[in-house]
Structure 1
């Protein structure tokens, strides 16, 4: 005996009901199919109707009635459901035929054209529909929901259908294989075309592996050095705010603020190619028009890129080469400076030709008696191993070397015990900080000639001081500085000269430590 509760939850005061496991409970009889009223026929032109043909085929005996009943099957034009109008003379086959099951049957939906089709129930021949999907309906339901709308074909033999399916699958597999082969061929073609385009395009990747070309266009010794420098500055370069005139700082638009993208189409030039473009501008000295044609850009875009990147490099490159300490200098002192072990820096001045200014005051301030031309002058300092460690701003060619040294900020970097090596023109011993000495070649003065010891000393100093002139020569190899610089570049002249000077530090050292 089992214990069965009348409710899933046992309530307070409920009495359990005893249940016998051996007693057979009678099953309910299957419900008879309900009769549904015939649907209203739609007015106007009708769409494709659908007829439900029961499957599997059922042989019906109609000899008892003596007549061949007709089954009128119609469907709403909307296709939402299917209703059958059965003649009153049709006998109840559910009571006479034992093979007909009252449980749900599998039906197939077949598309036919109007008008409604009369199906003869007495016919024993059944056609097997060729369909890819079936619907399960119940005899108790009068309206069959149609969710598939396909055109079907009737065949008499199912084996022929399977064979046709196999042939069709084989055809699809052969077509798929042909398409895959064509796709592989097209990929190879695209890859080769991309390689040709990159080879014919003036960009940084076009010179990958060509160190001579990279040295010619950028001044850097190899492509690997170029990529190493780019990867170092790329994180900051991604946040650049591009120059758009003097209003960029005073009145920045929302899309010009740092960290926000510029609206409009994507930039044609990548960040790597922008860096390459700027180095080409400095090293080769190409005009903006030439660069615009080579990189497929407008002149205004080239000008904006060059201005932005030069200001950026002017701030970043000096941070990579800070002024070395005394300990660093002495730890890397070349053997050539064994006679001058306390040398901290070697200095010299260089001049750049410029256009003649229109203002008379500017003409007089930039006139150089040494070059007999209007020039800008800068002070350059190198360490004993030849690395550029100090670059001053540009001054008018009329300013003396002593004035530039005093006002450039170099003296604040020197410490007691340092030695400064310079040319005869640098009479700066009276302005040097306490404890700092000056090493320059001796003067002849009013004497007829120098002594033998002074001549030897002059030769010894010149043999090591020559390295600062070699360093300046490397700077002048950037062709943007040779020739005559236009006055329109005056606002960027300091940045251009400083960037060119510090870029020479990526070249092999002038003085090797033996």
Structure 2
């Protein structure tokens, strides 16, 4: 700012500090004294707001040390000091109005609304009226702000709107990503095959979704466990229709994810409730409902394979045992020791030295599970489990079954039994018997690999609590049936 020298005579101020004017395009400071005075912003919020509007400082926050020099105030707004050493003060309500952009002149008073609004004149204006109107028309608006062209202003506004829309879309996308990362849900692990394998036993997200697409049409027919119990108490017919007042805590696919986590990873109900932000009672109902649903749905499809179908997929390694229809073996699940001594004696297994539950698993030669028995007490023998399972009723005379040495079932079946030979009374096994034992053992081991896959579900690796004994049969069957959908071929060269 260039000041007129005939108006102000400035001299150097001898002070340790200096004050500066905060008005744009004003370089006045307290380095020179004698004429200028500097005034802080008023404490009154309304007057302070008028100061900020007049000095045109966008997004400016004044501090107690922010000053405006006396160049921007009218003379009648200042109060002269009573003594020479006193400071000049401003009158109450004084507002800066003199600036470089209005040439340090007082702005004209605002025209009243009655003067700005032209009266409606129906008569045609005369030449004198038009001349008088042009003479009284102000050259600009009723304020002294510089006005940008309308087209340029509109382009700037459109560009700003577009920029804000893009920023908003980016923030919404970022918010959704953060929400997914902070929420324990299936979508969070789409790209992580290791996580999908840990939580669901499915090898990847794609295979999990293929299984979901297969069962999804029947999900709406699911009968919830709580609804079934309520209908039983009222002696009413159970329906799969959810009442309108009942709110679903999770989506069906998330419920399936929760159930598979309970089965595969072995998380407790409290842990799952914390992960999915629901109550433990809701977790318990979801697990019970999905156990019954999958047991009914997957169990409704026959997994038993006829002899012709087995031969169509028979691996080349079974050419010497081409009539083998099923490979069977027993497995045991450790369970919590019951308090009753009688039940303890029935559940105790001398082989595992623990209370167990025993089941019979049968697979086709190329790997899929084709037979699942119920769970029995651990003290029962393998032969008795085979007899109670009903597998002998499915075997015909033209097929064969492959078992371990512990299955003395020749008198229980009509078909051929491939079993490693016993040593009997000989001190050493003959060469043909050794070769036969090796061949059968190398093929029969496939059923143990399938059992190992089933026991990869953590709930069966640990000691099964007595609290879930009522549903352990259905849960074990569901784990076996899911194994046919979750795993790849046992041996790559057998895949057809």
TM tier relative to shorter chain: 0.5 to 0.7
1:372 counterpart residue number? 353
Q: CA deviation at 1:253?
A: 9.6
Query: What is the CA RMSD across the aligned residues, in angstroms?
Result: 3.2
Q: Structure 2 CA distance, aligned partners of 1:263 and 1:481? A: 37
Q: Structure 2 CA distance, aligned partners of 1:292 and 1:253? A: 31
2:488 counterpart residue number? 508
2:53 counterpart residue number? none
- Equivalent residues, number: 362
Matches within 5 A, 1:226-241: 226-241=208-223
2:468 counterpart residue number? 489
TM-score (norm 2): 0.67
Distance 1:126 1:271, change over 3 A: farther
Tell me, what secondary structure is at the counterpart of 2:303? coil
Which of 468, 473, 478 is the equivalent residue of 2:457?
478
Distance 1:203 1:410, change over 3 A: same
Q: Structure 1 CA distance, aligned partners of 2:197 and 2:331? A: 24
Q: CA deviation at 1:257?
A: 2.8
Residue 457 in structure 1 maps to residue 415 in structure 2: no
Q: CA deviation at 1:226?
A: 0.3
Q: CA deviation at 1:203?
A: 1.3
2:31 counterpart residue number? none
Q: Structure 2 CA distance, aligned partners of 1:257 and 1:245? A: 8
Provide, for residues 319-368 of structure 1, a one-character-per-residue CA deviation record: whole Å limited to 9, x for no partner.
45621111111011111111100000000000011111122321121111
Q: Structure 2 CA distance, aligned partners of 1:205 and 1:252? A: 40
Residue 294 in structure 1 maps to residue 275 in structure 2: yes
Which of 169, 176, 182 is the equivalent residue of 1:194?
176
The answer to which of 294-303 and 236-245 deviates more is 236-245
Q: Structure 2 CA distance, aligned partners of 1:382 and 1:364? A: 31
Confirm or deny: 8 A CA contact 1:381 1:390 kept in the other structure: yes
Confirm or deny: 8 A CA contact 2:231 2:238 kept in the other structure: no
Q: Structure 1 CA distance, aligned partners of 2:151 and 2:220? A: 53
Confirm or deny: 8 A CA contact 2:346 2:377 kept in the other structure: yes
Matches within 5 A, 1:141-220: 178-220=160-202
Tell me, what secondary structure is at the counterpart of 2:461? coil
Tell me, what secondary structure is at the counterpart of 1:351? strand
Residue 270 in structure 1 maps to residue 251 in structure 2: yes
1:466 counterpart residue number? 445
The answer to which of 328-337 and 197-206 deviates more is 197-206
User: Unaligned regions of 5+ residues in structure 2, if any?
Assistant: 1-118, 127-132, 142-148
Confirm or deny: 8 A CA contact 2:224 2:240 kept in the other structure: no
Distance 1:454 1:210, change over 3 A: same
Residue 392 in structure 1 maps to residue 373 in structure 2: yes
Q: Structure 2 CA distance, aligned partners of 1:319 and 1:235? A: 15
Confirm or deny: 8 A CA contact 1:255 1:261 kept in the other structure: no
Q: CA deviation at 1:187?
A: 2.1
Residue 313 in structure 1 maps to residue 294 in structure 2: yes
Distance 1:251 1:340, change over 3 A: same
Tell me, what secondary structure is at the counterpart of 1:380? strand
Provide, for residues 359-414 of structure 1, a one-character-per-residue CA deviation record: whole Å limited to 9, x for no partner.
23211211111111110000000110111111111000011111211121212222
Confirm or deny: 8 A CA contact 1:343 1:384 kept in the other structure: yes
Q: Structure 1 CA distance, aligned partners of 2:246 and 2:232? A: 23
Provide, for residues 396-435 of structure 1, a one-character-per-residue CA deviation record: whole Å limited to 9, x for no partner.
0011111211121212222231101001111111111x3x
Provide, for residues 53-91 of structure 1, a one-character-per-residue CA deviation record: whole Å limited to 9, x for no partner.
xxxxxxxxxxxxxxxxxxxxxxxxxxxxxxxxxxxxxxx
Residue 244 in structure 1 maps to residue 226 in structure 2: yes
Q: Structure 2 CA distance, aligned partners of 1:252 and 1:308? A: 19
Runs of 4+ in 1 over 3 A off after TM superposition: 123-127, 167-181, 251-256, 318-321
1:407 counterpart residue number? 388
Q: Structure 1 CA distance, aligned partners of 2:171 and 2:336? A: 53
Q: Structure 1 CA distance, aligned partners of 2:152 and 2:408? A: 96
Tell me, what secondary structure is at the counterpart of 1:312? helix
Q: CA deviation at 1:277?
A: 0.9
Confirm or deny: 8 A CA contact 1:255 1:263 kept in the other structure: no
Distance 1:470 1:185, change over 3 A: same
Provide, for residues 199-245 of structure 1, a one-character-per-residue CA deviation record: whole Å limited to 9, x for no partner.
23221111112222211211111110000101111111123221118
Q: Structure 1 CA distance, aligned partners of 2:246 and 2:235? A: 14
Q: Structure 1 CA distance, aligned partners of 2:192 and 2:309? A: 34
Larger radius of gyration: 1
TM-score (norm 1): 0.64
User: Unaligned regions of 5+ residues in structure 1, if any?
Assistant: 1-118, 128-155
Tell me, what secondary structure is at the counterpart of 2:362? strand
Q: Structure 2 CA distance, aligned partners of 1:476 and 1:269? A: 28
Q: CA deviation at 1:268?
A: 3.6
2:33 counterpart residue number? none
1:16 counterpart residue number? none
Q: Structure 2 CA distance, aligned partners of 1:124 and 1:342? A: 115
